[in-house]
Each structure stands twice: as structure tokens, then as C-alpha cells.
Structure 1
Amino acid sequence: MKLVVAPDSFKGSLSALQVSKIIEEVLVKEIPEVQIEMNPMADGGEGTLETLLFATDGKRIQTSSLGPLMEDVITEYGVLGDGKTVVIEIAAISGLPMVPINKRNPLNTSTYGIGDVIIQAAVDGYRDFIVCLGGSSTNDGGLGMLQALGVRFLDEDNNNVPPIGKSIYKVKKVDFTTLNPIIHDCSFTIASDVNNPLCNKNGATYVFGPQKGLKNEDLEEYDQAMQRYARLVEGHLGINVQERPGAGAAGGLGFAFLLLNSKIESGSRIIADATNLRQRMQDADFVITGEGQSDFQTLFGKVPSFVAKLAKEADIKTILLSGSLGKGYKELYDHFMSCHSITTGPMSLEGCMENAETLLANETRNIAGYLKVINSERENQRATDRLEI
């Protein structure tokens, strides 16, 4: 029996790699003859860097830069096994967890460090980038990042504005002629499953601003300022990208990268391609995937639904094993052979996360139980078929 294990992370408790290893360890113990193909997944958010480096035998490059509050931070970027492609994870440079709860306010956070790390990697000789846009604390339309890349944003007195979110209120003039020439030689592939435009009710400010600390009463004014900022930049460059799907990703970083002729692609698809998931599924009997919580939103392009889609194309059944099953989870039964939660009864979120490793191992044993039955029935059928021949 061959199984492909391709989960997302259980955010806040276990990385995708940790989830994969726990499932593999239990299955091998319970079904010694099983063949496991581990393929940790991600969608462009936290954990994407680890997943890609594991799958391609890449390496981490530790560096320092400026964090979301413009303070010095130790961070990193990755280089894939091909030795030429850099992976930058926004969550590791300007991530929301990097900002104390009492200081979360996208008017005061910055993407400057992201541009700084890009320049560092480019100076080191790299030109191909995969940028993972999930988990940001920012909503500056990429202003800070673009400043780090050399773009000038000036106020009414022709002074450079600070590289933080609220500076979009002050920008009166933009100058891309000062963009660092090295960027013209770079190519950027953006890993994101967010399809929102930059502005309006479905844009970055309204949809994602509140969870980053933006007050509801400030949404309309801030969104209008973002529109003015975007129109100014687009007028300067003679292009229009703010309405394109993904422009609103990571508080408008998608918009900034589109200005640099970047490609925005499904994070799940990028990971699947980089890890050869389709090839790993060849001749597999089952696929096991999962995430922290599965609910009706899982079907909107999240990792488990993407994995299940690939498995279906290969005529393989998919088992869903997640931290919990939430609102509308019954819709998932049309897409998965079975759906499992690792919780064993009424539990607090904190308790579940603290004991995630043990709970995951226990539920994996339950899955192994019926996989053994299926495997035994298959072997008996094969033996019967041989006798009849």
C-alpha cells in the first residue's frame, strides 16, 4: 500500500513537516509494509519556506533587516536546491506575530524589510525569486518595500515620506526612475491564494485591515487614501494593475509586485509543482491531507481542497485529517473519502494546540486501523484472483 502524506501546517502548533512526520511514524508502525511519500504543503503563508527547502534540499541564509515596526530583526531567506531560486517568506520579515498585540496597527507597520532582503539576495547574485505573501502585518500598498528598492515617494514639500502605512495619506509625487537597476534583472513569482483587488469593499483594507489592527471607523478613509496612492503610482508608470486579482494580497504587496511585472500564482500550485506532488501520487492508493481547521472555506482553494483535486484527477481517494472540523464541514464529504478531527471531546483551543502532537498521533492510529482492513481485503482479493486463474 502506497500513501502520499501532503498536509498544510496546523497553524500555531505544528508545521506541515512536523504533521507529515508524525503521520508517517504512526503509519509505518501500524502498517509496516506501507510505503509513504511525504510531501508537506503550504499555500504561500507561514511555513512555505520550510516546505520548499525540505522538498528541494535547499538551504537557509540568515540575515538581518528591519521588521514591521522598523526595528532591527534577525530573519532569513531560502535558496532552493537548484542553487539559484530565492524564497522569501513575508511572515518571517513583516509577519503579524512579530507585532505585539497592543501595537498592531497597519498605519504604523512597514514592508521596508522585504525590499531590503530582496536587495541583499540580489547583491549576493540571485535573480529568481519566489515571494510568499501570507501572514503580513502590513497594509501599506507595498510603499515601504518599493522605497527599499529605490523608489521615491515624496510629500507636498518634496520630502521623502516615512516607509509606513499612514504615509499613503501624504504621498503627492512618485519617482520610479530611482529604482535600483539590479531589480530590472530580477524575476518575481508571487505565491498567494488571495484574489482580492487592492481597493474597495473586497480590497486589502476592508477585508484584511481589521485583523491587522485597523479600526472599523478608519476603513473608508484609509481605503480612499490607498486608491489615491495607487492612481498616482499607476499614472506615473502608465499602467493599471490595482484591480487585478491578487493586488490586495498582503496589504497591497501584491499591487507593488505587479508594478514590477511579477506573476501572481496559486501558492498551493507553486508548492505542488516544486515538490513534484503529481509525480508522487503516481500509483498511490490514498492521499492524506489536512490543516489546522477545515470548514466550508476549505473548498475555496485551500491546501486540502487543492490536494484532493489533484488526487481526484489521478483517481485516488483523499483522507482529510485536520485539527478540527468547523462550520459547514459536511460539505467536505463530497470531496474527501473521510474527514477526521484530532480532538477527542470538548477541548479549549489552547489545550488542543498544546497536545496537538499526541492528538494527531492518536487519530492517525484510528485511520491506520481501517487502512489495514482495506489493505487486508485487497490482499485477500488478489489471492482469490490468483487461485481462480
Structure 2
Amino acid sequence: MLSRSTNLCEVRIVIAPDSFTGTLTAAQAALAIKTGWEKTTKADFFLAPMSDGGPGFIDAIEFGFGGNKSHHQITGLEGTTITAPILVVGKTAYIESHLIVGPQFITKQPRTPDKYTSKGIGELINIAVQQGCQTIFVGVGGTASIDGGAGILETVEKEKLGDVELVAATDVDVLLLGNRGAAKGFGEQKGASKELIEELEKKHEQLAQSTPKRKDNKDASQMLGAGAGGGIGFALMALGANRVSGLELVTESFDLANEITNSDLVITGEGKLDWQTLRGKVITGVAEIANESAISCLALCGQVIAGKRELAAAGIVGAYGCIEEGEDLPEDPFMALVFLAERVSRTWSQ
């Protein structure tokens, strides 16, 4: 479980960053900010590394809930064997799609998204069922696969699911098909050509038509979130999963709203803060909770591109970056964030 300081301090600071993609996990970012800030300020810090169901999902849940993590050999994105974790808290299992089908597993160029498989997620679901888990949360985000979840549907032993509750944790609410769906909406960023995107859309249409409706008679392809993770959402929902907000699940694990209400300052952050980030969930979600309690929210980031008006509209009173636009990434991202936190703290501690 999360350890907390019991020191009686005048200032209480909640640090709740997202991951800094490719450089720092959310937990590392939170620690770096704390390390820098405490150089100038005596405070009671509450660390709450965030995730919206994508990268860092399991780490965030483990930081908040504790649990036991085990590692298993399964099928990876390109069909080779990889090792991936399951986090078990009581009778509840947590699986992170990013750690199974994330882009970090791509070893061959050019990318071949039509050949990537989500099979390993299905294998971990089977393992969780075998371990006696009654509820299985699957964080959906940060993926490179775009098979419509076919690998999951082909692998999960449906007859053994029984009364096991499946839950898809995602903050992407797109459908499986259509211009904003798994193929047409996300295919290009996953390396698919225009021609391949059309082929994938047709495959997803065929998959949707051949997949039986759920027990509640709903068509999973028409459910919000079905297009998340290249169709992983669809497969999970076809198996009976409900969808929850990944960010809400993580914030609840920390009782973040209550922690922020009892704080003096909130600090969030991520790698690159731009207009796309502000349309996302983590930074804006944390800022929204802070604003509801009239607590100031800062963002310490790798780089800040968003303008002051955009930041103010999102409820962020100040945003600071380790580097300026166009500069190279720092050799030591952790220490760069430590130095940034120390510098900003001198202003905010006055």
C-alpha cells in the first residue's frame, strides 16, 4: 500500500503526473518532482502516479492498491514469446495492454500493423481465470496492434469465463468502425498505409459481423470504446466486458479527490504539454479535481507548447518545461525534472 508521511508540515502537496513517454514512468516523474521540490520546501508530499489505462496502468494501480505481481511467458505483438505481468489484488487481476502489444515491441521495419496480434492479452486473461480471479481489468491504451482484438477472441477460453467479470479500462470512446474507429481513426499513426487502412476496416467489418452478440443482445462493435487499442476494446466487450474510465479507476485507487481537497498545491505533468494533451484525460482530469476544491494546479513537463489561454482554460495556473521547443532531450531526464522542480519551487514557495 501507499506509504505516507506523518510529519506535521504547514504545506501539503499532491504530485500526480502522467508518464513522460519514452523517458520516465509516472512513478519516476512523481519522485523526480518530489526530490526537486523538497530541496527548497518543507512539505508533506502525497505521490499519485497517474494513468488513463495506457502506459503505467499497472504501476499506478500497484502504487495505490498494492497487490502481487507475477510475470508470464506469452505471445507478443509480433508473434514471438515475451514476458508480461499480471497484478493481482485480492481476487482482482489487472492487465496492461501496453506491456503486451505496445510499440516498444516492434523490431522490424517497415511496420506491419496488419500482422500484429493481440493474442497475448487473451493468454493473460486465461491465466488470470486459472488463478481464480473473479474480476479482470484490462488497461487499453498505448498499443501498436490493430487486429480488431481478433487475437483475444481466438485465444480466450470463453467456456471458462463463467461469472468472471471483465472490465475494459480506457478513456478512448470511439467505435470499432467508421472514420474515428480503430482502423480509419488510428491506422495511420500505427504505420498503416491508406490502402492497408481500407483493408483493415473491411476485416474489422467482417469480424464484427461474425462475432455473436453479447448476452445482453448488444452489438459490441457499436459500444463506446470498442475502437480503443486497435479493437482490443471490441474484443473485451464482445466477451461481456463493461467499460470504465481508466483515469477514474486510478484516481479512485488513490482516493485522489479527497487527498487534493486536503492539500495546498497540486502538481501534475507529462512529457509534452500541447493542445492534444489538453484534449486528453490525465493532466486535465487532475486539474479538474484540483479546481473543484479551489486548489492551484501546476504542470511540470518535459516540454510546454500549449499557450497560456489553453492552459488557463484547462485549469492550470502555471506550466513549466525542462526544454524549449526544438531542443534535444536531456541526457538524464530524471535529473532534468529534478532541477526544474527545484527551480519552480523557489517561486511557488515564497
Shared fold per TM-score greater than 0.5? yes
SS in structure 2 of the partner of residue 30 of structure 1: coil
Alignment partners' CA distance in 2, 1:131 and 1:31: 39
Alignment partners' CA distance in 2, 1:360 and 1:344: 13
Q: Name the count of aligned residue pairs.
A: 338
Alignment counterpart, residue 116 of structure 1, candidates 98, 120, 123: 123
Task: Determine the structure 1 residue equivalent to 2:143.
Answer: 136
Query: Residues 118 and 329 from structure 1, CA distance in 2 versus in 1: closer, same or farther, beyond 3 angstroms?
Result: farther
State whether structure 2 residue 3 is matched by structure 1 residue 26.
no
SS in structure 2 of the partner of residue 41 of structure 1: coil
Deviation, structure 1 residue 359: 1.7
SS in structure 2 of the partner of residue 196 of structure 1: coil
Alignment counterpart, residue 58 of structure 1, candidates 67, 75, 81: 67
Alignment partners' CA distance in 2, 1:323 and 1:20: 13
SS in structure 2 of the partner of residue 323 of structure 1: strand
Deviation, structure 1 residue 332: 1.1
Deviation, structure 1 residue 124: 1.2
Runs of 4+ aligned structure 1 residues displaced above 6 Å come to none
Alignment partners' CA distance in 2, 1:328 and 1:14: 24
Deviation, structure 1 residue 328: 5.0
SS in structure 2 of the partner of residue 14 of structure 1: coil
SS in structure 2 of the partner of residue 188 of structure 1: strand
Alignment partners' CA distance in 2, 1:101 and 1:2: 48
Alignment partners' CA distance in 2, 1:3 and 1:268: 20
Asked if structure 2 preserves the Cα contact closer than 8 Å seen for 1:290 and 1:321, the reply is: yes
SS in structure 1 of the partner of residue 162 of structure 2: helix
Bigger fraction of residues in helix: 1
CA RMSD of aligned residues (A): 1.8
Decide which structure has the larger Cα Rg and report it. 1
Tell me which amino acid in the other structure corresponds to 1:126.
C
TM-score normalised to structure 2 length: 0.91
Task: Determine the structure 2 residue equivalent to 1:127.
Answer: 134
State whether structure 2 residue 320 is matched by structure 1 residue 310.
no
State whether structure 2 residue 321 is matched by structure 1 residue 341.
yes
Alignment partners' CA distance in 2, 1:46 and 1:187: 23
Asked if structure 1 preserves the Cα contact closer than 8 Å seen for 2:214 and 2:239, the reply is: no
Task: Determine the structure 1 residue equivalent to 2:16.
Answer: 6
List runs of 5+ in structure 1 lacking aligned partners: 151-178, 374-389
Alignment partners' CA distance in 2, 1:298 and 1:321: 13
Asked if structure 1 preserves the Cα contact closer than 8 Å seen for 2:48 and 2:63, the reply is: no
Alignment counterpart, residue 97 of structure 1, candidates 94, 104, 120: 104
State whether structure 2 residue 217 is matched by structure 1 residue 208.
no
List runs of 5+ in structure 2 lacking aligned partners: 1-10
SS in structure 1 of the partner of residue 300 of structure 2: strand
Greater RCO (Cα-Cα under 8 Å, separation 6 or more): 2
Deviation, structure 1 residue 241: 2.5
Alignment of 1:190-205 (within 5 A): 190-205=168-183
Asked if structure 2 preserves the Cα contact closer than 8 Å seen for 1:296 and 1:329, the reply is: no
Deviations 1:22-72 (A, max 9, x none): 11122222112x111111111111111111112212221011111112211
Tell me which amino acid in the other structure corresponds to 2:348.
L
Alignment of 1:215-254 (within 5 A): 215-234=193-212, 239-254=218-233
Asked if structure 1 preserves the Cα contact closer than 8 Å seen for 2:214 and 2:220, the reply is: no
Deviation, structure 1 residue 298: 2.3
Asked if structure 1 preserves the Cα contact closer than 8 Å seen for 2:39 and 2:342, the reply is: no
Alignment partners' CA distance in 2, 1:277 and 1:132: 19
Alignment partners' CA distance in 1, 2:267 and 2:204: 42
Share of identical aligned residues, percent? Answer: 30
Query: Residues 235 and 336 from structure 1, CA distance in 2 versus in 1: closer, same or farther, beyond 3 angstroms?
Result: closer
